[in-house]
Amino acid sequence: MRKPAWRVIADEIAGKIASGKLQPGARIEPETEIAERLGVSRHTAHRAIHELQRQGLVARQRRWGTVVAERPILRKQRIGYLADFTTNLFQAHLLSHIESNLKQGDRLLVATSLNDSELEAEHLRELQSEVDGLIVYPAEGDGNARIFKEIRESHFPLVLIDRAPRGCEDMVVLTDNVGAAQRAVDLLVTQGHTKIAFFGNNSDKALSNRERHQGYERAVPQLDPKLERWIHVNLSENAESMYQAVSDALVAMMARDVRPTAAFCSQDWLARALILACNDENIEVGKDFAIATYNDFGETFFRFPKRIHRVIQRVDRISELAVERLYRLIGNEPVEAGPIRVEAGLVPAE
C-alpha cells in the first residue's frame, strides 16, 4: 500500500525545503510542469502544492507563482484514529486522552470500523491519503494483519492500541494483560481461595483474551478445566444467552463436590452476569464468593463495586505512549519494537 502520488510529490518538495536545497523565496516548479514531468494529472500536482501550503512551507505570490515561505509556519498535523466503536465509555476515554496528547493545533480525524474487518480495510486505504499518521484500535481478529504489515513496510506512521492481529504485535501499545490478570488472581489466592473459576470471552481472535487467560493460568496453583468457561460475548446479538450461559456454568460448578469460592472474569460484562447469577443462587458476592475482574466501563458499571476486585487499565498512559510513538514515526525518529505494555491498576475489594 504505497503513498498516494500527491503525497509523494509533497514529501519530496518538503524534503528539499528542510535540507536547504530550496531556500526561502525560491520559486516552486509550476503545477503544469510538475504534472508533465512526473506523468501525473494536474489535479494531483495541485493537491501536492495545496498540502505544502497547508503545512506553511510555501506561499502563493501574484504574477510570480508559488515560492518557499520566508518564515514557515509551525506545521499542523492531521492524526487519524480508527476505532471499532466510539460509543462506549472505554473508547470515549481513549479518544479523549489521545486528543489531549496531540500537539497544539493538530487535528484529530475519527473513523469507526464497527468491528468489521472489511470496513476497517476500506478506512485504512482512505485515511492514508487524508492524515499524517494513524492510531488504530483494530477490529477483532487477524483479517487485516497483512494490510497492517504492508502499511508498516511502506513507512507510513502507524500505531496499534490495545489489540494486535497475530504478527503485528510489534506495532501495539497495550495493557500488560498477563501481569494484570496474574496479580488479580494472586490476590484471590492470598485470601485463601484455592478453587478459582475462570470466565472469559470465547473469541481467541483478541490478543487480550488470550493473555488474560495466561495470567490466570500462571496464578492458579492447580488448574481444573471444569472451572473454566468460555462465553460468547456479543451484546448486540446475544445478551440474554450470555447471561444464561454464565448462570448455567455457575450452577454446574456449585453442584460439584468441591466448589469454587472465587472467580476471575476477563471483562466486566462477564462479571456483571456472574453477579446476577450469584444473586439468583443466594450467593452473596464479597462474603460467600469473591470476584476479580477487568473493569473498563467504570466503577458505576457495578451496583456494589467495592465488593469486587477490579483491574483498571491505565488508558491515560496507553494513549500518551501511543501518541508519543506516532509522533516519533512521523518525524522519522527511531522507535523500539513493541509490544509496549503498560501496568494496570488493581483496586481491591473492601
pLDDT digits (tens, 9 = 90+) for 256-302: 998 999 999 999 999 999 999 999 999 999 999 999 999 999 889 99
How many Å apart are CA 131 and CA 12, to the nearest integer? 17
Helix boundaries (H) for 134-234: 145-153, 177-190, 207-219
| Model confidence pLDDT, tens digit, residues 181-195 | 999 999 999 999 999
Q: Provide, for the chain, the percentages of residues in helix, strand and coil under a 3-state DSSP scheme, each rounded to the nearest 5.
A: 45, 20, 35
Output the CA torsion sign for 115, 199, 286, 191. negative
What is the structure's pLDDT at 73?
Answer: 55
Band of pLDDT at residue 216, cut at 50, 70 and 90: very high
CATH numbers and ranges of domains, the chain: 5-68 (1.10.10.10), 78-175+316-341 (3.40.50.2300), 177-312 (3.40.50.2300)
Instruction: From residue 315, give the alpha-carbon distance in Å to each of 90, 98, 175, 298, 328.
Output: 8, 9, 9, 12, 20
Cell of 40: 501525473
| DSSP codes, 165-185 | -TT-GGGEEEE-HHHHHHHHH
How many Å apart are CA 210 and CA 222, to the nearest integer? 19
| Model confidence pLDDT, tens digit, residues 228-240 | 999 988 766 668 8
Band of pLDDT at residue 58, cut at 50, 70 and 90: confident
| Model confidence pLDDT, tens digit, residues 327-337 | 999 888 888 88
Task: Please answer whether residues 119 and 95 qualify as being in contact, where contact means their C-beta atoms are separated by less than 8 angstroms.
Answer: no
Instruction: From residue 213, give the alpha-carbon distance in Å to each of 285, 315, 339.
Output: 22, 21, 18
Three-state DSSP class for residue 157: coil
Average pLDDT over residues 319-323: 95
Q: Is the peptide bond preceding residue 305 cis, with omega within 30 degrees of 0?
A: no
How far from the centroid of its chain's Cα atoms is residue 8's Cα?
28
What is the structure's pLDDT at 237?
Answer: 61
Q: Which amino acid is present at 26?
A: A
Output the CA torsion sign for 19, 20, 24, 25. negative
Is 74's pLDDT higher than 60? no
Using a cut of 0.85, tell me whether the model's pTM lies above it.
Answer: no
What is the structure's pLDDT at 148?
Answer: 95
Bin 118: left if φ > 0, else alpha if -120 < ψ < 50, else beta: alpha
Share of the chain above pLDDT 90, in %: 58
DSSP letter at 289? Answer: B
Is 155's pLDDT higher than 90? no
| Beta-carbon-side half-sphere exposure of residue 135 (alpha carbons within 13 Å) | 29
What is the structure's pLDDT at 236?
Answer: 62
DSSP letter at 260? Answer: -
Is 221's pLDDT higher than 80? no
Band of pLDDT at residue 136, cut at 50, 70 and 90: very high
Task: Please answer whether residues 348 and 309 qualify as being in contact, where contact means their C-beta atoms are separated by less than 8 angstroms.
Answer: yes
What is the structure's pLDDT at 1?
Answer: 41
